[in-house]
Amino acid sequence: MGFSLANAIKREVPGNMLPFVGFCIALNVTAGYLTALIKLPLYLDAIGTVLLAALCGPWIAAIAGSISNLLFGALGNPTMIFFIPTMIAIALFSSAVARWGWFRRWYLVVLGGILQGVVAAVISAPISAYLFSGVTLGGTDFLVIYFRSMGNSILDSVLYQGLSSDPVDKTITYLIVFSLLMNLPRRILQKFPRHSNIIRPSSSHADAT
């Protein structure tokens, strides 16, 4: 029997979890607002995607990530639509990381975040280079200019910029998700299909309630 995306999603999210998926999308979108509000030099636009990938699975996280970027586009920043492939890669990779049990230990979370940053940088570099020539008026543009001034091509400069800033951003994203997961009461965690990614059956995860 062939792979069906619709069936994979049905397996990952029972009907009553759909509002949670909607919340994760809103969390991605609102993170832009949030970081702008407190003026932090970060993106943090994949917290909802990573949370969903860890608790539900890769396919619904990929769809939620894609819808997030479409909503970003609809709500004021159309350039985000072109970074949907990056969001899909984040969903697939973070789901694998969760499956390996890396969201149970903080040092593995840090390692996962760094690797995720490298993956995101490699995928977003060609998009940023070919569509925007590496200049997107973000806080990291000066890094692209710096690498270009050293004689690198646009693609190389954008890649080096991504490799120097994305791992930091994604590590922080992973640590935030880890902190949220550790603070979720066990009875709530157990409602999610992939709760075993976070808690072992015999673990003594404290119930906050």
Partner 1 sequence: MQRSIAAKLSLLLFFWVCAFALEWNLILPLIGILVVARWTIPFRPVTDRLARAWNKFLLYLLLLFIALMAVNALFIKGGAVLLEFGPLRFHSEGAIFGLATAARVGLLSLATLLMFISTPLKNLVKFLQAWGLSPSIAMVILQALFFVQKLPSRIDQILLAQEARGANVRGNVLARARSLTALLAPLVLSSILESLQRGLALELRGALHAVPGADRERPAIPIEAYVLVLLAIIILLLRFAS
CA distance 16 to 31: 24
Residue among 1, 3, 16, 107 that touches partner 1 (CB under 8 A) = 16
Q: Does 202 bind partner 1 (CB under 8 A)?
A: no
DSSP 37: H
What mask, x for binding partner 1 by CB under 8 A, covers residues 51 to 90? x-----------xx--xx--x-xxxxxxx-xx--------
> What is the Cα Rg of the chain in Å?
18
Instruction: Give the contacts of 1 (CB within 8 A, at least 6 positions apart).
Output: none
**Cα–Cα nearest to 119, from 168, 86, 81:** 86
Contact 52, 94 (CB under 8 A): no
Q: Which of 17, 111, 114, 127 binds partner 1 (CB under 8 A)?
A: 17
102-161 binders of partner 1 (CB under 8 A): 131-137, 141, 145, 148-149
Asked if 41 is part of the footprint of partner 1 (rule: CB under 8 A), the reply reads yes
Q: Give the integer Cα–Cα distance in Å for 156 and 38.
A: 32
Nearer CB in complex with partner 1: 100/142: 142
Joined tokens for residue 190: 């157990």
Which lies closer to partner 1 via its Cβ, residue 19 or residue 201? Answer: 19
Asked whether position 27 contacts partner 1 by CB under 8 A, the answer is yes
Q: Are 168 and 117 in contact (CB under 8 A)?
A: yes
Interaction site with partner 1 (CB under 8 A) = 6, 9-10, 15-23, 25-27, 29-30, 33-34, 37-41, 47, 51, 63-64, 67-68, 71, 73-79, 81-82, 131-137, 141, 145, 148-149, 176, 179-180, 183-184, 188, 191
